[in-house]
Structure 1
């Protein structure tokens, strides 16, 4: 834990969190998800504003771990913090809604993307 603390002081917490969350979303291990949530909280406590990559990674990790309600809460927080979703965020949301059988919501996301000038791309359609 001492080594982790030293590492965190020397490195960019946002980068560390994004890497941790990316790993978490790939492995879906609850222990790593809790570490990611702790880092996310630590960032905010220290005045480091999470970016779109951080939020997207956390939302994906939560969803993949079966925490859909918490993923929705983090998405709401992201939007309320005026962090605009990017193509990866929107594509992930389309994927999540489709996997949950919420095709109407996925279609609404696609429509919204087009309306705001973020056209779906190969990533979006490869889900």
Structure 2
């Protein structure tokens, strides 16, 4: 999926606090990997995005714009545009927006200990659609 503009439909979320806007850009099979989802999240002032260790996912959070703070067992640290946050599967943390809000890109994936036990996910075209440019290894044997 390619997103060419920001005015696509989005879901509004409120979980015990200020409202946030969430848009799923791609999920599971669309990514041909062990990624769960690729999302765009907009947090207004004081809204939070929580990474819950019970969901079993790792997350990469990229701050595209705005400012906020990371809250975890080590305390509170500032976040700003260009920051990349790596959240391991077992980490409990929250990202909270400050006055100007936060625009986030979030990639969620299965942890390495799960991925290594799964068969490789390789996209494959049906034989009738293959061309000399793309020919799978199994078709050549």
- The structure that has the greater radius of gyration is 2
Return the TM-score normalized by structure 1.
Answer: 0.28
1 or 2, which has the higher helix percentage? 1
Return the TM-score normalized by structure 2.
Answer: 0.26
